[in-house]
Each structure stands twice: as structure tokens, then as C-alpha cells.
């Protein structure tokens, strides 16, 4: 897994869409295909970093082999 990139934000990424949120606020949602499609990367402003799970940085939430159902 990659590490979060604290030198930049998701601002300007083509996969980020601005949506209406509660109480008139705006949220920024990542629609890059992958496990994290639809994750929020900020409300009113972007997170102060690019998350480690960013598919464009080669990140993911967990290795694919962990998705298999464990046998008891």
C-alpha cells in the first residue's frame, strides 16, 4: 500500500465531483474506478492530503486476497 501524499490535495483531479451535502454544504467525492469509488475527499474543502487509498497513486484499502470468505 502506498502512503498518503501530504504535499498536495485532490483539488484539480478529474475524478472528483462536487455535490450538494447537508445544510447547504458542498462535498467532494472521488469517482475514480476501484474499491473506493464514491468516497468523500472533503466537505467544504479538500482533505489536506491525497489519501493512501487513491487508485491513481496505486493504493487500495486491502489486498484482494482478503476479500475471500474465510473458512471456519
Instruction: Choose among 33, 24, 23, 53: nearest CA to 41.
Output: 53
Question: pLDDT value at position 24?
Answer: 93
**pLDDT tier for residue 2 given thresholds of 50, 70 and 90:** low
Q: Which residues contact 31 (CB under 8 A, 6 or more apart)?
A: 15, 16, 17, 37, 38
Q: Report strand pairing: 40-43 vs 45-46.
A: antiparallel
Least confident of 13-17, 21-25, 38-42, 62-66: 62-66
- The pTM of the full predicted model, rounded to 2 decimals, is 0.74
pLDDT tens for residues 26-61? Answer: 999 999 888 888 899 999 999 999 998 888 887 766
Amino acid at each position: 500500500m502506498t502512503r498518503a501524499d501530504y504535499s498536495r490535495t485532490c483539488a484539480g483531479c478529474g475524478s472528483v465531483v462536487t455535490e450538494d451535502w447537508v445544510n447547504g454544504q458542498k462535498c467532494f467525492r472521488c469517482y475514480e474506478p476501484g474499491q473506493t469509488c464514491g468516497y468523500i475527499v472533503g466537505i467544504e474543502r479538500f482533505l489536506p492530503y491525497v489519501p493512501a487509498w487513491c487508485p491513481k497513486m496505486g493504493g487500495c484499502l486491502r489486498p484482494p486476497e482478503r476479500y475471500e470468505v474465510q473458512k471456519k
